[in-house]
Structure 1
C-alpha cells in the first residue's frame, strides 16, 4: 500500500527554486492579486518593490515600473510560476476559495506526478497551484518518470477539503517549479542539463522537464508559444530573475561552468544562486 504521506524532500535536492522575481507595471494590482487569491503575505516593502511569501519564507519579489511595456506572450520568459502546496486538502481548499471569489481558472490537469490548477495574474504572468502525488507513484516499471496532461477529477479533489476553508497560503508551501518559454528545446537542454546540471526528468512534445535529486521538475522549458524566440527585451514586464537554492557541490560546479553565481540562459532569462 502506498503511504499517502510520502513526500519528496525538496531541501535535499542539489538544485531547487528559492524565489521568483517579476517586473510588473501595476505593483498595487499585482501584489493585491497574489495576496487575495493565493494568500501570500507581504514580508518587505522598499520603494517600488514588494516581497511576498509565507509568514516565514519569501517566495515572490515584485518590482513595479509603470514605464514597462506589456509582456509579449510569444517571447521567451515565464510560462508559469508553480506554487506547491503541502497537501491535497490544501489544494481542495484553495479551489473552494477561488470558486467563491469568481477567480477565473485557465485549466485543471492530472499530470500523474501531480494535480494542478492554472490561472494568470492581472498582467498575464502564468501561475500553477499544485500538489504532488507520492514519489512512489511517479515512475513506470522501467523506473522512468511518467507525466501526462489528463483531466483532473475536481469532485474527488473537493472531497479532501473535509469541510475546512482556505485561510491563506500554508506554512510549508513553496515555489515547487518554474516553467519557462524558450526558443529551442535542444538549446535549452544544452543549457539546463549540460551547463546548469539538471537531469532531463521527462519530455513532452515541444517541452523538456528538468529535475534535480529525483524530482519530476524544478524547471521546464517549452516552445509552445515561443518557437525560435530571441533574446528577451529587458524593457518588457514579466519574469526578471529566478533564484536557485543549491547545495555546496552543485554551487561549485555551476559557478565553474557558468563563471559565477549570476548568469542568464540563452534567451536572457536571469538566474542567481541563493547566498
Structure 2
C-alpha cells in the first residue's frame, strides 16, 4: 500500500519529555536529533518535534489537531502498544470502528494520539460504496493476551491518518476534497472522513468542539499528504496560499494549517 500520509510536525514546549513519550509509550524510535528538533519513526520518519518554548499554547477556539493516528501492522503490535500505555501512561479510550481497532491517549502537551490496526479491507462494513465506520467498545483482555512483549513499534508502522478540528466542513472539503483530490468515505454529524485509493480515511475533519479561529498556537505545525500528480493539485489551489519547495509545495488550508504536498 502506498503511504499517503507523511510525517506530522508538532511544535512543542518540552522536547525531551515529548520525545521520551513517543519513544517509550507510543513505541517510535529517534531517527535524528539536533538542537531543538527530534525526528521519530520506524522505517521512515513519522513525527517531527520542534521545540518552540516561546510560542503560546493553542487557544480553546483554535482549529488544529484532533489526533495523529499511528497504524501498526498487526493485532500483536496493538497489544504491545496497550501494554506500554497501561504501564507508563493513561488510556483515554479504546474503540472498535469496524474497519479498525483503536487505542486513544493524549501526549504530555495534550495532543491527541491514536494507535490502531486495520482489519482486512474485505471485512470493512460497506454502505453504498462508502465505508460504514461505527464506534463500539473494544474488548481489551484479548489484546493483552495477544501482546508479544515488544517495546517498540514494528516495521510497517505508519501514520495512517490525521484527524483535524476545523471551523467549517464545507470550506475544508473544498480544500481537501476538490483541491487535493481526496474522496469522502463517510459523513456523520459534525464530521467527514476522506481518503485516497478507497482507504477508510487519510484525513478526518470535525467541528465537534466548535473551533472558530485559525490554528496559531503550539501543537500541530504541519501535516504531509502524498498525491499522484502534484502539478494537477497545484492548478486547483489558490496560488497565493502556496509555497514552492524542491520536492513539491506547501499549501495552507482554510484554517491556517500547513499541508506539505509531495508526490506519492
The two structures have a TM-score, normalised by structure 2, of 0.91
Aligned: 1:86 with 2:73:
yes
CA distance in 2, matches of 1:29, 1:215: 34
Unaligned 5+ segments in structure 1 are 1-8
SS where residue 178 of structure 1 aligns?
strand
Q: Is the 8 A contact 2:24 2:151 kept in 1?
A: no
**Please, which moves more after superposition, 79-88 or 133-142?**
133-142
Aligned: 1:106 with 2:92:
yes
Aligned: 1:21 with 2:4:
no
Structure having the higher strand fraction is: 2
Deviations 1:20-61 (A, max 9, x none): 00001111111111111112111112221111111x311100
CA distance in 2, matches of 1:165, 1:116: 18
Quote the residue 1:201 is aligned against.
Answer: 185
What RMSD in Å do the two structures reach over aligned CA positions? 1.5
CA distance in 2, matches of 1:136, 1:99: 31
Task: List structure 1 runs of 4+ shifted beyond 3 angstroms.
Answer: none
The two structures have a TM-score, normalised by structure 1, of 0.88
CA distance in 2, matches of 1:82, 1:120: 12
CA distance in 2, matches of 1:141, 1:128: 25
Match of 1:174 among 151, 158, 161: 158
Match of 2:113 among 120, 124, 127: 127
Deviations 1:71-113 (A, max 9, x none): 2344201000000000111101211222222x11111111111
Residue-pair matches, total? 254
Quote the residue 2:252 is aligned against.
Answer: 264
Deviations 1:180-204 (A, max 9, x none): 0000112211111111110001012
Q: Is the 8 A contact 2:26 2:84 kept in 1?
A: no
CA distance in 2, matches of 1:141, 1:220: 18
Quote the residue 2:245 is aligned against.
Answer: none
Matches for 1:186-265 after TM superposition, within 5 Å:
186-227=170-211, 229-233=212-216, 236-247=217-228, 249=229, 251-258=230-237, 259=239, 260=242, 261-265=249-253
**Please, which moves more after superposition, 113-122 or 67-76?**
67-76
Deviations 1:154-205 (A, max 9, x none): 12333332xx202201111000000000001122111111111100010121
Quote the residue 1:3 is aligned against.
Answer: none
